[in-house]
Structure 1
Amino acid sequence: MLRMILALALMTSLAACSTRLNPFNWFGNDREERVRVSETVTENPRDRRFLVSEVVAFAIDPTAQGVILRAIGRPQTQGHWEADLVEVAREDGALVYEFRVFPPPSPAPAGTPQSREVITGLELSNFALRGIRTITVVGAENRRTISRR
């Protein structure tokens, strides 16, 4: 009984501490950097989506098999659709995604900032994360980065 209590106490202290052994602490909070990004050509020339104007939020949620990346972007107007995080670079422990969306088929009003928000996400396995220290999501006016602790 004493061993079970000690094991339980050790597990809860590990979950509560901020060590690198705790998988929930592998990635920290995001930080924003304001930049002006020129449009880049994606690997697929038929992909005619544009960079979202601003990446509002970026979060990483751990799962048993890896992580889920969630990003919220804000285009200039309402009606943008089919949002995706498109991988553009994977080198030196850094993974970079562009937040791309299709523009509305016809001119649309600007509306409120919240009404323009577009949400997208993707899942990365632990195998795909091997060696990755930072993940960045790029928009036209800013980029958000989350680093491994």
Structure 2
Amino acid sequence: MRIPTLLLLTATLTLSACQSRWNPANWWGRDRESAVQTDVNPLIPDQTEDGRSFFSSQEQNAYVGQPIQQVIKAESHRVPEGQMILAVGVAAVHGVNNIRLIAANGGAVEGGVLTLNLMGIVPEEPVVGGSDVTREVTAAVVLTDQQLAGARVVRIRAAANSQDTRVR
């Protein structure tokens, strides 16, 4: 009795893995799978939330950042594309976001110094106070060797101070 039961169980499991008429799951229904052809990719939206086409050229809004209060650290690291400039600053209020390093003077190098402004967007209802650690912000930008041509020093400028880092 043990051997026939074991053989029946083995045969049932083996047949249930194939897509044939011998599969016990196919015995009571004639369900067939058919592919639905669509011209629309459901993963790509037709329009954005504001009604414009997803692939249309989107206008760049002007950046309305304000200078961060103070720069506390500036570093330069060599990367394959050029130099990665990292800046850490302390904002005057909590909630400053969209931190950027923006080139001053259109990115022109003056006297071997390339100046970058540390900027951020201040929230509508800022929270004042707290320690410097809780208001710390970080931004980084990768500058190519062409953008750094002639620059020996990169100066990160904030509202109250600036820090220099040597280009390697």
TM-score under structure 2 length normalisation: 0.58
Q: Work out the CA distance in 1 between the residues paired with 2:167 and 2:99.
A: 25
Specify which of 74, 87, 95 is matched with residue 114 of structure 2: 95
Does residue 133 of the first structure (1) align with residue 152 of the second (2)? yes
TM-score under structure 1 length normalisation: 0.65
Pairing 1:15-94 to 2, within 5 Å after superposition: 46-89=62-105, 90=108, 91-94=110-113
Runs of 4+ in 1 over 2 A off after TM superposition: 45-48
Please state whether the residue corresponding to 2:142 is helix, strand or coil. strand
Pairing 1:87-126 to 2, within 5 Å after superposition: 87-89=103-105, 90=108, 91-126=110-145
Tell me, yes or no, if the aligned pair for 2:86 and 2:139 is still in contact at 8 Å: yes
Change in Cα spacing, 1:68 to 1:58, as seen in structure 2 (3 Å) is same
Q: Report the CA distance between 1:129 and its aligned residue.
A: 1.7
Please state whether the residue corresponding to 2:134 is helix, strand or coil. helix
The root-mean-square deviation of aligned C-alpha atoms, in Å, is 2.0
Q: Which amino acid counterpart does residue 150 of structure 2 have in structure 1? A: G
Q: Work out the CA distance in 1 between the residues paired with 2:96 and 2:78.
A: 28
Larger strand fraction of residues: 1
Deviation per CA, 1:44-100: give whole Å up to 9, x if none: x94321110000110001112211000011111110000101111322322001111
Q: Which amino acid counterpart does residue 147 of structure 1 have in structure 2? A: R
What is the aligned partner in structure 1 of residue 163 from structure 2?
A: 144
Q: Work out the CA distance in 1 between the residues paired with 2:115 and 2:154.
A: 6
Change in Cα spacing, 1:79 to 1:64, as seen in structure 2 (3 Å) is same
Deviation per CA, 1:90-146: give whole Å up to 9, x if none: 223220011111112213132221110111000011222221111101011100012
Q: Work out the CA distance in 1 between the residues paired with 2:88 and 2:167.
A: 20
User: Percent sequence identity over matched residues?
Assistant: 21
Structure with higher RCO (Cα < 8 A, 6+ apart): 1
